Structure 1
């Protein structure tokens, strides 16, 4: 089992140079602890928290990578970009990393991000599909012609291709059946979000498999995002997680993230989130991951080592402990394959 981290945001009150130093120290600590995927998401004009833009940040972090470590965007807000610009930026990043880039992409959930770029929020899914189509042409063809609903390109040469062929792997985020089908058609894998329970995921994997088969596409194991908190006991882990994560979850819910109920997050935080968080001692968390790997075809497992307000020392200590108590013991763990996956039996 491979493990990765999501490098997130930081309160805007943090000086930007301190924020960058935190990112660099996080990358160093994660690699030392055995993590092999380093990823970051994207937001624009975000309220209260600073998100470094992923492409320039990952280009800087590429200089710090060990040979076996990959970096990725998890996830870009794809439809607010022009596909030619984004394709060339990402191809450049793939070259800079010598072919170690993963392109995680989705629609996001904030309407204001679309408003400021003049993009129709209600058409974000169609925009995403056409964006991926155009980017793939830019990456794989010597000349591009595309006449679509949103973009129009007439026989233009391409000059910038990624190292990875035919393209860097595309991870598509999705939370519901329609999105999972879209991920099956237009991406290489579906990225499972941390807000989905394992039971919800089981119910959607069959949908994904059916759609890939219909399109004649191969199957690849799913990156699984999960929050994870290790402590001396389950109760301690639950308490520690609430202490670091509650403020951010309230922010997510208040800004409209799907699958999070704002009132429940504010007033019943632990009851609302504990079913999709890995909690307990190192041994307990390892057992939880083994159980998931016995039920779902997953890999890598991506966790968040840092919540806004934590300092570099706290983050490094978290990564060291998780590396020692979870990553190292599960290094040889293999999840089930698709041929072994058993879809849930529907009642009635």
Structure 2
């Protein structure tokens, strides 16, 4: 199993964003040195925090790193023009020497779609249409394309990605219809940061069944995202993150939902929190029972400082990642 890192590129508006980016670069370098597989970035517009946009930041990360893969988890593709998106991502793949992974999502904030004059329902249609457009352009095809975003007869790209066929495409999804959509598009399903093992097993069964029904292979990437914290014990780890949890959860739900959050359940089911032994056991269980191939961990909870984030990267690199490299799953349900 591969272990990756989600970088929180959003800062207090009253603080220095330039200093925040410096901290982020230090985290990326630490993740690369510690043996993490990839670093991922999120995407929002009109955020309450000072949110550094991921496409230019990914180019900066490509220059600051040498081995670690760079990706999006996720990029709000429907808010962007598909031709610009294809060219920007091809450029990033060139800048990173073929280290790019592209997670795409439909988005869940109406404020963002309204700002870009995208109808709420149209964001789903755009996501469905964009995947084959990106693949065709990256493969060197010349295609006639049109949609609510515009029209281009005879579209083609002179700039081609380093990776044959372009960067891997993942679709981030929570709901069953969106998971089925990811399968029908022949993309990996990027599992969001929630869901217990039983529910994930059920949804993975639906995803794999949809792949088979559409004639696609089930042997592929199975990436997952989780909030994570390693401590000397489960109690110590939980105590460290509890002060940040409601603010963290608000990033996925409303503030009202966060106030009713069952913190004990959230920590036990939706997060990866505990001692190194407990974390390794859970990761190996996800690998053997669910077939998960990569877990992207957000180590810096909202409100946590740089020192804590760097300590977590070092601890995962020393106490968790080496043990996964030497442990092989006994069975994988695919």
- TM-score w.r.t. structure 1 length? 0.89
Residue 307 of structure 1: which of 293, 301, 307 is its match? 301
Residue 264 of structure 1: which of 255, 260, 263 is its match? 260
Extract unaligned runs of 5+ from structure 1.
343-348
Equivalent residue number for residue 210 of structure 1: 209
Whether the 8 Å contact between 1:296 and 1:335 is mirrored in structure 2 is no
Equivalent residue number for residue 151 of structure 2: 152
Equivalent residue number for residue 322 of structure 1: 316
What CA distance in whole angstroms lies between the structure 2 residues aligned with 1:214 and 1:54?
35
Equivalent residue number for residue 284 of structure 2: 290
Equivalent residue number for residue 21 of structure 1: 22
Shift of 1:243: 2.1
What CA distance in whole angstroms lies between the structure 1 residues aligned with 2:20 and 2:80?
25
Equivalent residue number for residue 252 of structure 2: 252
Residues 249/312 of structure 1: CA separation in 2 closer, same or farther (3 Å cut): same
Alignment deviations for residues 255-303 of structure 1 (CA, whole Å, 9 cap, x no partner): 69xxxx33422xx333344311122211111112122222111121110
Equivalent residue number for residue 54 of structure 2: 54
2:159 counterpart SS class: coil
Extract unaligned runs of 5+ from structure 2.
none
C-alpha RMSD of matched pairs (Å): 2.0
What CA distance in whole angstroms lies between the structure 2 residues aligned with 1:134 and 1:336?
39
Tell which deviates more after alignment, 315-324 or 81-90.
315-324
Matches within 5 A, 1:24-173: 24-47=25-48, 49-67=49-67, 69-148=68-147, 151-173=150-172
Higher RCO by CA contacts (8 Å cutoff, separation 6 or greater): 1
Tell which deviates more after alignment, 169-178 or 149-158.
149-158
What CA distance in whole angstroms lies between the structure 2 residues aligned with 1:244 and 1:329?
28
Residues 111/336 of structure 1: CA separation in 2 closer, same or farther (3 Å cut): farther
- TM-score w.r.t. structure 2 length? 0.93
Residues 255/142 of structure 1: CA separation in 2 closer, same or farther (3 Å cut): farther
Whether the 8 Å contact between 2:11 and 2:17 is mirrored in structure 1 is no
Alignment deviations for residues 301-331 of structure 1 (CA, whole Å, 9 cap, x no partner): 1101212333322211111112111112112
